[in-house]
Amino acid sequence: MIKRIVTLTVLVPALLSTAVSAAEAHPAPRATADVVTLTYDASDAGQWAGPIEQAVQNWNNAVHNVRLEPTSTPGEADYVYEATSGWPQTTLGPIFPGGSGEVQLGQQAVDEGYDATRITAHETGHILGLPDDYSGPCSEIMSGHGPGTSCTNAKPDAAEAAQVDKNYADGATAMRRSHHHQIVIDVWTGRVLTGSR
C-alpha cells in the first residue's frame, strides 16, 4: 500500500506538469469574459443542412466572442435558416440572444453556379453584423458573388473574424442595445437590393 502511494505521489506532479506544458503550447482563444451563444434553427433548410454545418463550423473556428449552436428548442432560436427558391437574403445583425434573425438560402444563387457553403457562410456573416464587400477578393467571405463562381472559399479572413469579435466584445452589455435591422438581399449576379424593417 505504501509503495502505491509513493508511486502516485511521483506520477501526479509529472502528469500535471505535462498538462500545463500542453496548454502553454496552444494559447487560449482571445475570448471575452462572456462569450455570446447564438442558437439557430435549420429545420426548414432542407438540402442546405451540410453547407450550414460547415459554414457554422468555419465561423466557430474563426471567432472567439460568439458561438453558433443548433437550438434544442425549435421555435426559440435566435435566428433561422430556411431554404427558398429565390435569392439569398438575411437579417443584417449583429443578432443577439433573444433576437429574430432570418437567413433565406436561395436556390437561385446555386443555380447561377455559386458554392452552397460559401453562400451559407456569407449569409451567416450578415447575421454576425458584417456588410457586403463585393469588390473584395475571394479570401473575404463577405465579397460574396464579387469574385465569381470559381470562388468557393467559405472561411472568413482574419479581418472579418476580428470585426465579428469586436461586434460581440461587450458580451451581455452589447445585448442590451437596441438594433435597427435591415434585410440584405444578395443577388448573386451583381445587382444588390437592400430593404429596412
The residues annotated with a catalytic role in the active site are: 123
- DSSP-derived secondary structure letter, 145: T
- The phi, psi pair for 86, rounded to 5°, reads -90, -145
Distance (Å, whole) CA 114 – CA 135: 16
Counting runs of H as helices and runs of E as strands, what totals does the chain give? 6, 7
Distance (Å, whole) CA 96 – CA 181: 12
Distance (Å, whole) CA 72 – CA 42: 11
Contacts of 157 (CB under 8 A, 6+ apart): 139, 140, 141
122 within 8 A of 139, measured Cβ to Cβ: no
Distance (Å, whole) CA 103 – CA 93: 11
